[in-house]
Structure 1
Amino acid sequence: MRLGFLVDTDDRIAYGARGSAQDAVLAMEGMIAEAVAAEQAGFHTLAVPDRHGIADCAFPGPEQLLTVLARETERVAIGSFTLVSTLTHPLKVAEQLAVVDQLSRGRLFVTASRGFLPSFWDQFGAPQDHLLGRYTEALALWRAAMPGERFDFHGRYWDTTNGLLAPPPYQPGGWPIWGGGNVSPAAIARAADLGDAWTCDNGPLDLATWNRHVGVYRERAEALGKRPYVVLLRDAWVADTNEQAMAEFGGHLLKEVRFYLRKGTYAHHPGFTEPDDATVENLFDHVVVGDPQRCRDQIERFRTEFGVDQVILRPRFPGGPDRTRVLEQIARLGAEVVRPVQERFPAPDHPAVPIGARW
C-alpha cells in the first residue's frame, strides 16, 4: 500500500494571522520543511493543493511548491491534490508541470479537476460557464501536447496554433493524471475516462454509499481496459492514546470538516450533510487518529473494507496545529504508522504512480 502526505499551503499561524510580507517566507520555508521531513519519514507521496485569493496562502497554486520540491526531494512522488484546470490556458499550466517533471526525473503526477469555488474564477476573471467542457478540453489539450511535438488544437474553449510543450515531459507519454470528482456518479466515472486514478476527499465514509460510488469508477475503468486505482485523503494524528489524539487534534478537525460541509462537497455519507452533523465523537471513525495501533488499523481497514490503494494523510490545517507539533507528527507517523504499514502491505506498481517514484 502507498501512503502519502498532504502539504497544506495555507498557514494562518505563520503567515495569515499577522499578514506581513516577511511572514510569508516563514510559512514557505515551513511547508518545504514538512515535505522534506515526510520524505525522510518514509512517505511515498507528497501532495499539494491548489489555493488562490486567500490571505494566509503562501504558495498560490501547486506549481510553485512542486517546482521547489522537485529539487528538495529525491525519490518521493510529488503532485497536485488537486489542480483546478479551468483557471488559465492549459498549455501555460502544462509548461510549468513539464518543468517539475523534468527536475524531479519523472516523479510528477497531477490530480486535475474543474474546481468548485467561484472565488478562484473571480480571482482571474475566468469564465464560469461550461466549466465541465473547459475541464475535459484542457486535459485533451494536455494529451495533444505531451509528445513534445508541434501541434494545433482548436477546441470550443481552448485554442493553440503551432503549439509546443517545451521542455517535454520527462515521463514517456506524460505524467499520470488522477481524476477528481466526488459528488455525482458522472463525475466519478469521468475520473476513469480521463485519468489513471480516482481521488477521494477527506469527508466521512458510509460503506454502502462508498461501494456504490467506487463501483461506478471501477466498472468504468475496467470497461476501458484500465486497472482501477483509488486514492483517499484522510486527516491524521497519532498520540499515546486515542483520547489524547482527539483532544490534541479534534478541534482543528471539526473546523475543517464543517467548512466543507457548508460548501456541500462531501458526498460519501448520507448522515453528514450539514455542519452540525459533525462532532468530534462521530468523526472518529472516519479519520486516522489515535494511538499507533489504531492508526495502523484504520489504514488497513480502508485497504481491506474500502479497497483503497493509497491513503494520503494530513496532520495540519490552515489554523493549526503549529508547525513544531506537525514536524513531530511527521516523524512519529513515519516510524509508528507508515513504515509498519509498508512492511505489511508492499506498495503496488501501477500506471498512476510516476515512473520515477515506483519503489
Structure 2
Amino acid sequence: MIVSIRKAAMIAAMAGALLATACSKPSEEASEARQEFNIGWSIYAGWMPWPYAQQAGIVKKWADKYGIKINIVQVNDYVESVNQYTAGKLDGVTVANMDALTIPAAGGKDTSAIIVGDYSNGNDGVMLKGSGDLKAIKGKQVNLVELSVSHYLLARALNSVGMTMRDVKTVNTADADIVGAFATPDVQAAVAWNPQLLAMKEQPGAREVFSSADIPGEIVDLLVVDTGTIKANPKLGKALAGIWYETVALMQQQDEAGKKARAAMAKLAGATPEAFDKQLKTTYLYADPKEAVAATSSPDLVTTMTRVRDFSFSKGLFQNAESADAVGMAFPGGKTLGDPQNVTLRFDESYMQLAADGKL
C-alpha cells in the first residue's frame, strides 16, 4: 500500500507557527548562485516520478546539462517534509496547494510553485453507509482528518447540496485509523484519500457520494521552491522542469518501457503495480506542459485558491491573521489575491512554459 500523504493541516500549521520566527521572508539579495540543491518528496502516486527519475538517471542527465547537482530526498512523513522545507533544510518540496498556503506561505516563507503536477481526480472521497445520496449525511458524525484536504472536500460536498459544516459533526480520525473506524457499526460517514479510500469502498454497504472528481482542479499537487533560491538559480527551475516532463511522458507510455517505469515507481512506493495503476487512474497528471501552463494561468486557479484560503482562514490556519487577505498570492499575468505587499505564495508558470516551447 502507498503511504498516505496528507496529514492534518492543524498539526502542520502549529509546527509552521513555531518555525515562522526562524523563517523570515527571504530576499533576493540574501540568495546566491549555487551548485547543489535538495528537493524533498514523500510517497504519493503523483509524486513518484521524482524518485524514479533519480533512480533512472534522468535527474543526473538534466542536472549535468545545467552544471548543477540535484538531490531528490525522501522524507517519510509528509508534514515533516513540508516543515523541513519551511525551516530551510530543503530548497524545494512536493506539496498540496492547501498545505503550501497554510504552512510555508502563512509562516512568511516566500514560496514559488514552479510545477503544477497533478490534481486529485477521485483520490479523495466522501463515504456513506446504506445510502448513495449525499443529502443523507445531514445530522451524522463524519470521521476524517480534521483541517486537512478531507475537511475541505467535505465542506465543498455539503455546499453542493445546500448544506454547511453546521449540518454535520466532524470526528478527528488519524489517516492510519480511518479504515478501521469506518468498518465499525458506529461510523456511518467518513472522508478519506487513497489508498485508504480504496479499502473503504470494498466494505459492505459503503457508497461514495462525493469525490474530488466532482471538483476537478481544486486539490492540486505542486513542486514548490524557495523564491529567492529560484530567482538566483534559474538553472534549477529549468532542470526540474526537464526532469518532470521527461519522466511523466515515459510513465504515460503504454509500451514495455512505460510499464517498466510504472512498475519501478510502484516498488518505490511500496505498492503492487496493480495498486499503483489504480491510484494513477484517479490522479490527473499534467503530462503536457502546455496544459499545465493553461491550468496555472486560468482564472479557475484564482477561484480555487480563494476557496482554499477562505476555508483555511475560517479554521484558524493563518495563525494570528485578522483576515483571509493577510497572506498574498501571485498568479500569472500579474494577478494577485490578498495583500499585494505580503505575497508569499507565487504560481510561476515560466519554467513550464519553457518546456511547452521546447526551450529547456
TM-score (norm. length: structure 1): 0.29
Q: Which has the higher contact order (CA 8 A, sep 6+)?
A: 2
